[in-house]
Amino acid sequence: MEVYMLKIKEYRKKVGMTQQELASKLEMSQNAVSLYERGVNDPSILTLVQIAEQLGITVDELIDYQKIKNKLSEDLDKRVEKRIEESRNKKK
C-alpha cells in the first residue's frame, strides 16, 4: 500500500495475538495475514473492518488515517504550487 501503511502487526502484537490466531478469527490463512502485514497484498474494505474489529480498534487507527490525510494535503499543496509557478512562467 503506497499511500499508507497498515498497522496490523503493531496492533496485533499490542493485544498479544499471533498471526495464526488472527488468521483463525478471520477465517483465513496465516500467510494471508503475513502478506497484509508486509504490504504485499491489500485487504478489501470488508477485511479491514474485520481486522480492526478483532484487534479492538477503528479502521482509521488501522490505516493511520491522519497520515493519509496529511500526505494527500501535502501532495495537493505541491500540485497547486507547481501550477501557480507554471502559470507565472507562461506569462513571462
- Count of domains in the chain? 1
pLDDT at 71: 75
With a cut of 70, say whether residue 56 has pLDDT above it.
yes
pLDDT at 5: 57
pLDDT at 33: 95
Whether residue 67 lies inside any domain: the answer is yes
With a cut of 50, say whether residue 2 has pLDDT above it.
no
Map the chain to HEC letters: CCCCCCCHHHHHHHCCCCHHHHHHHHCCCHHHHHHHHCCCCCCCHHHHHHHHHHHCCCHHHHHCHHHHHHHHHHHHHHHHHHHHHHHHHHHC
- Mean pLDDT lowest among 15-19, 35-39, 64-68, 84-88: 64-68
For 73, the domain range is 8-91
CATH code, domain with 58? 1.10.260.40
Whether residue 2 lies inside any domain: the answer is no
